[in-house]
Chain A
Amino acid sequence: MAAPRCSKAVQPDHEGWPRRAHPDKLDHVNFSSLDWTILIVYLTVTIAIGIWVKRYVESLSGYLVAGRRIKVSLGVATFAATEIGTITFMYFGELGYVSGFSCFVIGILIMFAYMIVGKTGFIIVPLRKLRVMTIPEFYELRYSRRVRLLGGVLLFLGGVLNMGIFLKFDGIFLSEVIGFGPQAITIIMFVMVLIVVTYTVLGGMFSVVVTDFIQFVVLSMGMLVATVAVLLQLDLVQLSTAVSQQYGEGGFNPLVNSRFGWMFIVWIFVSNLAAGALWQPGTSKALASESPEVAKKVFFYTSLTFAGRAMVPMFWGIAALALLGPGESSTSAMPKLLGALTPRGFLGLLVAGMLAASMSTYSSYLLAWSSVATRDVVACLRRNDLSPRTQIWLTRSFAVSIGCFLLVFGLWYQIPDTAFQYLFITGAMYTAGALGCVAAGIYWRKANNAGAYCSLTLGALAPAGFLILEKFPELVPSWLAFVTDVNVSGLLSFVLAITGMVMGSLLTQKFLPPKVLCTDGELQDLEVGSRSILIQEKPKETV
């Protein structure tokens, strides 16, 4: 198909070019001294505040869930900041570049999925009432300690693999926007992980919440600056023409786009419903909320931002297609465009915003996965309970180890297809089984240990099969070829997990009677490790 007509703004030797917009200059350093000043001041202030907040961490609940004192506005800021990283801009921007307007449907699906969770309190409210700190803790309450261990291992593996490509994409983004080129990616990755690990390890959730708030404000300003810069250079008719010429009807209609279709739409919606309720970094914001009602409000208001969160970077990606043409690398086209169009001084604000986005995501994810490794894997393997002091020390050690892993994995691993699909398929390794276990555990009395094992194992099977088999397509027999389709594997993981839970539970009801927690209106003491918790539920409600 013919290349779209480039905007006048990217044609060489045009007098109206912005300072960095000339294609021949895209390899040069774009940063001015003003940009550097903004960036250095921002980084210094953020790190200082992140470390200063350490003084508020005196207990395990303070470290992991900020003492459960998060109110609505702060909760929305920290949740939105967690869910917006440079990686978010990169994969959404990439989708805009390779699929045109039709990818906008993803933003709408994500918004509605999280809105349902926020409006109904699906899963998050019962979990908040149970006062758990990690999701696998629920497995022990409802099923057994071994189910918690399996759930913890899968959550940790899925989460860390999911996070594995963040650093590399952030490195690509920053090196392209600043103008350093690909040779600077490794150094940028190292500096970023060093900064984030430092304040996450020291300050825990208090640092995450406080720095998330600052980062949300800065990243919002950065997004606004970038969007205005793109709109000032863009002719909307050319945008439509570029997409039409490059992708035809598929650029506007997700149902006829070869990357999407009905199966993709159903998978993304179900996947986001599960991730909204069960993705530890996000759910931890509900668990840290002041009350279950506050948790619902935090999820609902944050969901309203999620369509914009997806569509703004997608729009930048489409603009890159229109202004730079289809010949660029799909990964680096959008950051290259932003580096070229954003005016002097504002570029520093944009990069500070992107760094803010990344740092807030990393810190939340590092804390989430390291707390799961400590409380749901190591603690479950020991007969004696770990002291809170040891748990904090272990959590910090895991955060450092995950940081090292991110550096190595990011440099080595080549992602299949688009980054967006990689992130959702690795996420499905855990969320599919977790949706079966937690949703059935809360809302279905017959859910038992056998169902939980089947759900967790089968839910992880299809995504793991995809990640392994797509590396060796020549070895895959034809009857198993469907597993190498990312959309099929993703949706299949949820079907298998739910089927596993239903069949596993129904077939073993006589041998493994389900554990039902709190069926009347009385207060009950429940043992979770060495911790005694109190829960109160409405009459006849199963928790």
Chain B
Amino acid sequence: MNTGAIVWLIIFCVSAIVFFVIAGVVAVKGIGDLRILLRHSRDDGA
């Protein structure tokens, strides 16, 4: 395989893993943030 392809494929793998890991973390923690956002809005009389 071309050396350039190997380098780019490694960078691609790292980038894709970082993307999906952050997506997973944000999906879990974001639910809590969402609850707080909507609860505060309701408490404020909205």
Residues of chain A whose beta carbon lies under 8 Å from any beta carbon of chain B: 53, 55-58, 62, 66-67, 69-77, 80, 101, 104, 107-108, 111, 206, 209-210, 213, 216-217, 220, 223-224, 227, 236-237, 239-240, 243-244, 249, 251-253, 301, 304-305, 307-309, 311-312, 315
Contacts and interface: CB of A to CB of B under 8 A. Distances in A.
A175 B23 CA distance: 27
**Residue of B6, B15, B16, B26 with most partner-chain A CB within 10 A:** B26
B36 to A, nearest CB: 7
B42 A56 contact: yes
12 contacts: A56-B41, A56-B46, A58-B46, A67-B41, A69-B36, A69-B41, A74-B34, A227-B16, A251-B4, A252-B5, A308-B15, A308-B18
Given A57-B46, A224-B20, A307-B18, A76 B26 contact: yes
Interface of B: 1-2, 4-6, 8-9, 11-12, 15-20, 22-27, 29-30, 32-34, 36-38, 40-42, 44-46
A224 B17 CA distance: 10
B20 A62 contact: no
A66 B46 contact: no
B33 to A, nearest CB: 4
Contacts of A305: 18-19, 22-23
B25 A73 contact: yes
Closest 5 CB pairs of A and B: A308-B19, A252-B4, A74-B33, A240-B5, A73-B29
A210 B34 contact: yes
Contacts of B20: 220, 223-224, 308
A76 B28 CA distance: 12
Contacts of A107: 15
Contacts of A239: 5
Contact of A69 (B18, B37, B45): B37
Contact of B27 (A77, A223, A236): A77
Nearest to A314: B12
Nearest to A72: B33
A308 B20 CA distance: 8
Given A307-B18, A309-B19, A311-B11, A71 B41 contact: no
A243 to B, nearest CB: 7
Contact of A315 (B12, B32, B41, B42): B12
A101 B38 CA distance: 43
Contacts of B5: 101, 236, 239-240, 243-244, 252
Nearest to A240: B5
Contact residues of A: prevailing secondary structure: helix
B9 to A, nearest CB: 7
A182 B39 CA distance: 45
Nearest to A249: B4
Contact of A77 (B26, B38, B44): B26
**Residue of A67, A73, A243 with most partner-chain B CB within 10 A:** A73
A72 B17 CA distance: 20
Contacts of B44: 58, 67
Contacts of B26: 73, 76-77, 80, 216, 301
Contacts of B2: 240, 243-244, 252
Given A104-B12, A107-B15, A227-B16, A217 B42 contact: no
A466 to B, nearest CB: 30
B19 A104 contact: no
Nearest to A242: B5
Given A210-B38, A305-B22, 10 more contacts: A71-B37, A72-B33, A209-B37, A216-B23, A216-B27, A236-B5, A243-B2, A301-B26, A304-B22, A307-B11
A96 to B, nearest CB: 10
Contacts of A67: 40-41, 44, 46
A390 B39 CA distance: 27
Given A56-B46, A237-B1, A311-B11, A73 B33 contact: yes
A217 B30 CA distance: 10
B22 A236 contact: no
Contacts of A307: 11, 15, 18-19
A66 B22 contact: no
A236 B18 contact: no
B6 to A, nearest CB: 8
A311 B36 CA distance: 34
A257 B3 CA distance: 17
B17 to A, nearest CB: 8
A73 B41 contact: no
B7 to A, nearest CB: 8
A311 B16 contact: yes
Contact of A253 (B4, B11, B29, B45): B4
A240 B22 CA distance: 29
Contacts of B18: 304-305, 307-308
A236 B1 contact: yes
Contacts of A224: 20
A213 B5 CA distance: 35
A235 to B, nearest CB: 10
Contacts of A66: 37
Nearest to B40: A69
A73 B15 contact: no
